Amino acid sequence: MNATLVAVLAFFAYLLAYFVYGRRLARRILGFEPDRPTPAHVKQDGVDYVPSNRLVLFGHHFATIAGLGPILGPAIAVIWGWVPALLWVLFGSIFMGAVHDLTALYISLRNEGRSIGTVTDQLLGARGRVLFLLLIFFLLALAMGAFAHVIAVLFSGAFYPEAVFPVWALIVIALAIGALVYRLRANLTVATLVGVALMLLATWHGTGHPVTRLPLLGAVELNHWVWILMAYALVASVLPVWLLLQPRDYLNSFQLYLGMGLLFLGLFAARPDIVAPAVNRLPADLPPLFPFLFITIACGAISGFHSLVSSGTTAKQLASERDSLFVTYGAMLTESLLAVLAILACTAGFASRAEWHAHYASWAGAEGMGPKLQAFVQGGANLCATLGLDPTLAAVFIAVVVVGFAMTTLDSGTRLLRYNLEELGHGFAPLGLLTRNRYAAGLLAVLAIGYFAVAKVGGKPAGITLWALFGITNQLLGALGFLVMTLWFYKAGRPFLFLLLPMVFMMAITLVALPYSLWKFLLADPVSWPLLITGLAILVLDLWLIVEAFLSLRRLSEARRSRLAAPAA
């Protein structure tokens, strides 16, 4: 199969989905109201609630939800074959992922910009709300701790020290652009062109200047980078969103647009065939395709983390409900297109099928972070080289894109964890005294992330050890997000089948994957106790929330029957 043809067909499939299914959802089923004041206007505070230009907000939302997910997941999932990976990315994003993100935004807008976790108190009661927020806390702290460790590894000499200067230079550029646009009222187009030009110049400079030493520290060790990243995440989580987070994500998104454009042009120039098998069963240690393909590919198809972004930072910056479809449904489809390009880079970027099989010889070998990133970076660089670009520069640029997007997830994730702690504090007086102050809440968030990034479990950072549970927990959060959305629409007496069916599917894959993984942890030699105990706790929490949902459904059904019976009486 020709990779260029696959890319073109996927692109038009996303266009069709956006203008047909997406518009129908936004206009007829959800019913966004362009003239309705949004929380960004009603609660405007210049820190978290800031009405924003739709293009800037799209860049922020896209950069936040993308991160490493749409690259790493597909880069490993192609081990089952390119066809199942491609089909899940396409149909999962159109009918589940984009619907999930758009609906989470809608519900948040109807609840004063509150997160999907806090909205549960209307549906599952105070106990269900706390359980849901605790699950979100664990997911965010674990994921951001692992991301901090991963970014530190990527900055190290063994991977991409050439990416250090461009990534940190972008932070300075973003601060300047944020101040120019919001304080000096500079023209957005001019500011964007200047920012992107400086960003590309920094990338070019980084190619020949890898950073392995820093003033005062000398040779930079892994833990140095972790603590530097923690300090950055703390600052980013409390600064006004217009000063750093928003312009940084906005400018960073242009890196990815350019990277995706180069990959597309590389496909047209090389017109490579996909060398990977359509369906692959060769590795003896390969887990079953169902449910683990749907767990491995998260952000490229559907991710529970996205509901936190839609109902967290994005809902607080949306200037008009008219922009909702473009910002969330559109960004999710764009991210899914990136996942398609990652699949093609990892299946058509190799010289032969034998070379592909050598790279994906076993699940244990391909599962690691290094092989996944190397497959994408090298495959992408090979495609870019067909355009006449220097292979080294192309590899560094793609590496900068990868590391830069990991950073956007880290800073936005820390801010979301700060929101989570503030929301949890509303139910606990001692915690509430601390989290009323955003600086204290931000510090608590960073301490939680720092634990998973630094504390050792089984000789590895806790976040890396427990990362085996992240995919399942993330998709479980997606299933629970759909559960809350379904109950919300059921309570409102509105159509909910478009949410119920994805919820059932997502709940099925997680409730199969989690017990299967727990059994594997138990059979491991030695027994993986941290994973086993944490996984059991997550399973109990999940089942508890399902019970709370059934109790809520019964209460809602009884209330509905009472309302229907009242006129007759």
- DSSP assignment string, 25-64: IIIIII---TTSPPHHHHT--SSS---B-HHHHHHHHHHH
Cα 411-414-418 angle, rounded to 5 deg: 140
CB neighbour list of residue 172: distance below 8 Å, 6 or more residues apart: none
Residue 497 lies in a domain: no
Residue 479 lies in a domain: no
Judge whether residue 451 has pLDDT over 60: yes
Full residue range of the structural domain in which residue 286 is found: 3-468
Cα 288 from chain centroid (whole Å): 24
Residue 232 lies in a domain: yes
- Asked if the peptide bond before residue 288 counts as cis, ω within 30 degrees of 0, the response is no
Residue 429's pLDDT is what?
Answer: 66
Cα 243 from chain centroid (whole Å): 22
List, for residues 221-254, the tens digit of each pLDDT value: 888 899 999 999 999 999 999 999 999 999 988 9
* Contact in structure between 414 and 447 (CB atoms under 8 Å): no
Give the number of other CB atoms < 10 A from CB of residue 261: 10
Residue 529's pLDDT is what?
Answer: 84
Residue 501 lies in a domain: no
CB neighbour list of residue 28: distance below 8 Å, 6 or more residues apart: none
When pLDDT is cut at 50, 70 and 90, the band that residue 506 belongs to is very high
Residue 6's pLDDT is what?
Answer: 95
Judge whether residue 537 has pLDDT over 80: yes
* Contact in structure between 387 and 262 (CB atoms under 8 Å): yes
List, for residues 78-124, the tens digit of each pLDDT value: 999 999 999 999 999 999 999 999 999 999 999 999 999 888 888 88
* Contact in structure between 316 and 50 (CB atoms under 8 Å): yes
Q: Which amino acid is at 316?
A: K
Q: Is the dihedral of CA 239, 240, 246, 247 positive or negative?
A: negative
CA distance 72 to 562: 50
Residue matched to tokens 């240690």: 285
- Binning the chain into helix, strand and coil, the percentages to the nearest 5 are 75, 0, 20
CA distance 369 to 407: 16
Residue 41 lies in a domain: yes
**What DSSP character marks residue 81?**
-
CB neighbour list of residue 526: distance below 8 Å, 6 or more residues apart: none
* Contact in structure between 332 and 65 (CB atoms under 8 Å): yes
* Contact in structure between 449 and 414 (CB atoms under 8 Å): yes
397-419 average pLDDT score:
87
When pLDDT is cut at 50, 70 and 90, the band that residue 154 belongs to is confident
CA distance 476 to 538: 9
For residue 242, count CB atoms less than 10 angstroms from its CB and return exposed for 0-12, middle for 13-18, buried for 19 or more.
Answer: buried
Q: Is the dihedral of CA 31, 34, 36, 42 positive or negative?
A: positive
Residue 54's pLDDT is what?
Answer: 95
Nearest in space to 248 (alpha carbons), one of 415, 96, 388: 415
CA distance 285 to 282: 9
534-542 average pLDDT score:
89
List, for residues 323-337, the tens digit of each pLDDT value: 999 999 999 999 999
CA distance 154 to 406: 10
When pLDDT is cut at 50, 70 and 90, the band that residue 2 belongs to is very high
- Alpha-helical (H) ranges within 69-187 are 69-77, 82-92, 98-109, 116-119, 125-155, 164-182
Give φ, ψ of 214 to 5 degrees: -130, 150
Residue 160's pLDDT is what?
Answer: 78
Residue 173 lies in a domain: yes
Give φ, ψ of 191 to 5 degrees: -60, -40
* Contact in structure between 347 and 356 (CB atoms under 8 Å): yes
Higher-confidence position of 286 and 528? 286
Residue 527 lies in a domain: no
The total of structural domains in the chain comes to: 1
**Residue 350, CA distances (Å) to 5, 8, 314, 359, 362 in order:** 17, 20, 38, 9, 17
Residue 140 lies in a domain: yes
Residue matched to tokens 């939800």: 65
List, for residues 255-278, the tens digit of each pLDDT value: 888 888 888 888 888 898 999 999
Residue matched to tokens 């050890």: 465
